[in-house]
Every structure is written in C-alpha cells, then in structure tokens.
C-alpha cells in the first residue's frame, strides 16, 4: 500500500476509535464508505463529503482535520461527514491497478492507465466520474464523455449507475440535511445553484453563500455547463441547498500536496460552525 493511502486509512481508523460513525455503504471494490457524526440535533443537519474525485484526496485529509477540530465544540446541530466518498479511486490514483482483486475492474482500470496519467485519475474503479453520474440532468454537461470508461468525465451507462453515488443519495435521504457541502480541488471557488432548482432554495441559499464567501475568501460562481454532480442532485431532486467548494490555488497541480493542508484547513475550519449559526 502506498504511503499516502496507508496514512489516510490510519487516520480514519484512529478517528473511528473516538468518534461516532457508521458505515454508509460499500464501494465497488468493497471498501467501507464511512460517515462520521458530530452533534446530536437531528433536525439541524449539515452533510459534508470529500474525495468523490480521486485525485482530490487532499479533501479527505482536510475533512479528517475538520472532524477532529469540531469535536472541541458543543455544536448547535449535527454534522455528518464522509471524508472519503471514493476510496477505490483514491487508491488507484496513488497506486495504480495492481491491488485490484476483482477481474473486471482490474481490466477496466489497467486499460485506462495505459493511456493516461495515474496521478490525474478522478473516477471510481469502473472508470466512471462519480460527480457526473448523479441523476440531475445527467449527460448534459459540456465536458461529459459517453464512449468508454476513462480517468475523468465518463458519465457511466446510466444515471446513478455507481454504488458510491447511490450510497451518497441513500445517506442524504436518511439524515435529511438542510445543507450539503462537497469538497473538491482546486481554484479557491464556490459553485452554487443549479438550473431548475426551486425558488425557495434559490432564495435560501444566499445567506449561506455569504457566510462561505466571508469565512473562506473563495469566489462564488453560479453553476453552468456542468451537470450530474452531487450538489446538483441535492438541489434538483431533493430540494436541499448544496455548495461545491474547490480548495487550493489554481496554479497548484493535481494532486495537491499535503504541505498545503494547513493553509486550506485554516480557511475552512470554522465554516461549519458558522453555517450552523445562520438563522
């Protein structure tokens, strides 16, 4: 196992010892998708997920630090955090295909990595880009790719075809958050809104967006030409406000090195607490 993946696994195991958690589902290769739970007010929940894109695994490390930080506070609400929504993809990005035991997925990933750079891998073990696989105007994004499994942008055979996608949908329905945050890298921007969202969510999202801009200093951008993402699904199908937060300077290359973690953490650590204060 690569140094970084084993570090990530160890940090999650460490956290499990002293933090409330549950297994939200299993990845394509059978890895647990773990949800940590802080606070107990089930009527006031924020759901946060990271690393749905494999090469953006710095967001998993970020969310682990945020969980540890939040435990120092009595929070007025509940936060459900999934640091590693795409465990198989992250391991592929760090190690390649050799560790994969399932024949079909091993072949898929081996074929992709023959013609692409492992370090840029975004997809899951089926070569599906999970953040374009959600059933929210699926297949209508400008960068969508339909032909075959690929390291990025392949939408899958049909909407919600991937187990990691269905896991996040089931989890969201189960914990019924009023707001979701999706952590990605990079660009220091916040994507908000989605064509077809309800008037009510459009009106409500403003006050939360203001807090995110204020706390992080990232620039807000209305979502255009991009579909099938988790926050798109939240807005379009569940009428839940969602934001995608892209951390890290745009001049950094993928995957962003862990030496950036401290500065990214400092810009994001208090965000959830502030969002829970919004009336």
- Asked if 186 touches Zn ion (CB under 5 A), the answer is no
- Asked if 231 touches Zn ion (CB under 5 A), the answer is no
- Answer yes or no: are the C-beta atoms of 188 and 260 closer than 8 Å: no
Residues in CB range of 30: below 8 A, 6 or more apart: none
Measured from the CB of residue 165, what is the shortest distance to Zn ion in angstroms? 14
CB nearer Zn ion, residue 38 or residue 235: 235
CB nearer Zn ion, residue 77 or residue 87: 87
CB nearer Zn ion, residue 11 or residue 184: 184
CB nearer Zn ion, residue 91 or residue 184: 184
Using CB under 5 A as the binding criterion, the count of chain residues that bind Zn ion stands at: 3
CB nearer Zn ion, residue 31 or residue 56: 56
Residue 129-158 contact track with Zn ion, rule CB under 5 A, x = bound: ------------------------------
Measured from the CB of residue 112, what is the shortest distance to Zn ion in angstroms? 17
Select the residue interacting with Zn ion from 55, 184, 231, 254 (CB under 5 A). Answer: 184
Measured from the CB of residue 244, what is the shortest distance to Zn ion in angstroms? 8
- Asked if 53 touches Zn ion (CB under 5 A), the answer is yes
Residues 28-47 that bind Zn ion (CB under 5 A): none
**Three-state secondary structure readout of the chain:** CCHHHHHHHHHHHHHHHHCCEEEEEECCCCCEEEEEEECCCCCCEEEEEECCCHHHCHHHHHHHHHHHHHCCCCCCCEEEEECCCCHHHHHHHHHCCCCCCCHHHHHHHHHHHHCCCHHHCCCCCCCCCHHHCCCCCCCCCCCCECCCCCCCCECCCCCCCCHHHHHHHHHHHHHCCCEEEEEECCCCEEEECCCCCCHHHHHHHHHHHHHHHHHHCCEEEECCCCCCCHHHHHHHHCCCEEEEEECCCCCCCCCCCHHHHHHHHHHHCCHHHHHHHCC
Measured from the CB of residue 235, what is the shortest distance to Zn ion in angstroms? 17
The stretch among 31-39, 54-62, 192-200, 222-230 that binds Zn ion (CB under 5 A) is 54-62
Measured from the CB of residue 64, what is the shortest distance to Zn ion in angstroms? 18
Measured from the CB of residue 93, what is the shortest distance to Zn ion in angstroms? 12
Residues that bind Zn ion (CB under 5 A): 53, 56, 184
């Amino acid at each position: 196992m690569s140094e970084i993946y084993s570090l990530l696994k160890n940090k999650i195991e460490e956290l499990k010892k002293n933090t409330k958690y549950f297994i939200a589902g299993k990845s394509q290769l059978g890895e647990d998708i773990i949800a940590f739970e802080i606070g107990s007010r089930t009527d006031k929940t924020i759901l946060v997920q990271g690393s749905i894109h494999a090469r953006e695994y710095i967001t998993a490390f970020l969310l682990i630090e945020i969980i540890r930080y939040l435990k120092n506070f009595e929070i007025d609400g509940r936060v459900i955090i999934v640091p590693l929504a795409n465990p198989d993809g992250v391991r592929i990005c760090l190690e390649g295909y050799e560790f994969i035991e399932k024949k079909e997925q091993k072949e898929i990933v081996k074929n992709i990595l023959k013609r692409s750079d492992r370090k840029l891998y975004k997809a899951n073990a089926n070569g599906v880009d999970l953040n374009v696989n959600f059933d929210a105007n699926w297949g209508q994004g400008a960068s969508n790719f339909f032909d075959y499994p690929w390291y990025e942008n392949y939408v899958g055979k049909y909407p919600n075809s991937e187990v990691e996608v269905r896991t996040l949908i089931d989890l969201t329905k189960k914990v019924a958050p009023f707001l979701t945050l999706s952590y990605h890298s990079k660009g220091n921007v916040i994507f908000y809104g989605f064509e077809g969202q309800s008037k009510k969510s459009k009106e409500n999202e403003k006050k939360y967006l203001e807090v995110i801009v204020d706390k992080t200093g990232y620039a807000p951008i209305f979502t255009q030409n991009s579909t099938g993402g988790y926050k798109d699904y939240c807005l379009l199908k569940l009428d839940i406000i969602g934001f995608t937060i892209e951390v890290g300077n745009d001049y950094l290359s993928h995957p962003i090195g862990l030496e950036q973690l401290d500065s990214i953490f400092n810009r994001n650590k208090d965000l959830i607490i502030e969002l829970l204060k919004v009336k």
